Amino acid sequence: MSHELDFTKGVAAIAYTGETPWHGYGERLDPGQPLETWLTRAGMDYEVTESPIFNNRWITNENIGASVKRLAAQNFLSFKPIPGKKILTRSDTDGILSIVSDRYNVVQPREVMEFFRDLVEDQGFEIHTAGVLKDGNRVWALAKTGKDFEIDGDKVEGYLMLATSYDGKFSTTAQFTSVRVVCWNTLSWSLEGQSSAGVVKIPHSSEFDADAIKEQLGLMGKLNTEGWGNFQENVTKLADYKVTKRQAVDFFLELLDVDEEASGRQLQTTKKLLSFYESGPGSDFISSHNTTWGLVNAVSYFTDHARRGRTDRRFDSASFGQGAQLKAKAFSKALEIAA
């Protein structure tokens, strides 16, 4: 399926609160459910097991002597472990996830959910969405921080995401992200108010330390509100700064590093961005219409919802990869213009 949700157990491995997700799958939960319920309903109630890999050399050569053949018949086979490698499987189905280095540290699905326990119990966070992608190879959880603001009816909420993988393709990542409610666009923010910060990546060659991650994010004790306040101030600046259509076109061309004489996919992307800027979801808000905030939202809508590629790859890109970098670049560039 194009959305790459995990259907290993016959239902989509995703749970959520609030409105039904765009893909229409998953189980809706009432707010305030215990983490154990989230773990089960989101399909994350399995362990990733680790096993050595053996190279089995079946003795079938006709020229082998009779004594060796007798040993083979008695299952005395040559099983040699492959050095430096191990295989990851999921405990509930025995499905093979990947082959990784023996130095690869697994972060279990339960650990992802447990990361939020003290934040939920002591700091007022609330789990919003959790789930599994790619037959168990990707798990994530997203929690509301309780921070939000509204500009001319355009509501933005603050979230914290933790995600990990079992295919060796990206690090365990914790990051703050804002969500524009009208279209579920995401944009990173940080306690320092810088668009490129507020992200902690833990390579699988390192041990997962939840407390160390929270300390880096400023989450030990009460959540620092200064960063969210700085982010709100920056968004307000962007919403107050008007631009012409010519400026909008130049913004997108410069963002993608192309010119009007270009052809192919990049020019098509520029046209899409301009279309989302002029008529995308939420473009009619006063805060977005002909403003630098509208420019940023066109980019975030494109990366989160409309960029080419399979949805699971778009999710990865928009949250952690090239899409996230493009959004950060657009946010910084728009702030430069508004300043």
CB 169 within 8 A of CB 305: no
In the numeric block, which tokens belong to residue 145? Answer: 């921080």
pLDDT given at position 223? 59
Question: Quick check: is 38 in a domain?
Answer: yes
pLDDT at residue 193, rounded to an integer: 38
CB < 8 Å & 24+ apart, contacts of 143-151: 143/116, 143/119, 145/176, 145/223, 145/228, 146/223, 147/223, 147/225, 147/228, 149/232, 149/235, 151/235, 151/236, 151/239, 151/287, 151/293
DSSP code for 222: S
Sorting pLDDT into bands at 50, 70 and 90, what band is 211?
A: very high
Of 46-60, 146-160, 188-202, 315-329, the range with the highest mean pLDDT is 146-160
The fraction of the chain above a pLDDT of 90, given in percent, is 47
pLDDT at 36: 96
Question: Is residue 7 in a domain?
Answer: no
Its domain, for residue 219, covers: 14-46+106-227
Q: What is the 8-class DSSP label of residue 136?
A: G
In this structure, of 246-250, 289-293, 313-317, 330-334, the range with the lowest mean pLDDT score is: 313-317
3-class secondary-structure state, position 90: strand
pLDDT for residue 71:
47
Q: Please report where in the chains the tokens 């944009």 appear, as a residue.
A: 187
Question: 169, 196, 227: which is the final residue of a domain?
Answer: 227
- What's the predicted TM-score (pTM) here? 0.80
- Band of residue 58 on the pLDDT scale cut at 50, 70, 90: very low
Q: How many helices (H) and strands (E) does the chain have?
A: 11, 11
CA end-to-end span of the chain: 44
Q: Residue 162: pLDDT band by 50, 70, 90 thresholds? A: very high
Between the CA of residue 325 and those of 102, 163, 322, what are the distances in Å?
A: 31, 17, 5
Average of per-residue pLDDT across 181-201: 63
Rounded CA separation 35/24 (Å)? 23
Please state the domain count of the chain: 3
* pLDDT band for position 222 (cuts 50, 70, 90): low
Read off the pLDDT of each residue in 67-71 and give the average, rounded to a whole number: 48
Rounded mean pLDDT of 201-227?
83
Q: Are residues 279 and 198 in the same domain?
A: no
Same domain? For 223 and 96 the reply is no
* Nearest in space to 150 (alpha carbons), one of 284, 278, 287, 283: 287
SS3 (DSSP) at 77:
coil
Which residue matches tokens 């082959």? 99
Domain end call among 227, 251, 283: 227
Of 173, 183, 322, nearest to 256 by C-alpha is 322
Question: From CA 244, how far away is CA 327, in angstroms rounded?
Answer: 21
Cα distance between residue 51 and residue 74, in whole Å: 25
Secondary structure (3-state) at 255: helix
Picking from 227, 253, 272, the residue at the C-terminal end of a domain is 227
Mean pLDDT estimate for the chain: 83
Residues 62 and 121 in one domain: no
Tell me what pLDDT residue 76 has.
47
Q: Are residues 96 and 173 in the same domain?
A: no
Q: In the prediction, which pLDDT does 335 show?
A: 94
Tell me the β-bridge partners of 179. Answer: 157, 186
**242 and 152 share one domain:** no
Q: Which residue type, as a one-letter code, is found at position 33?
A: Q
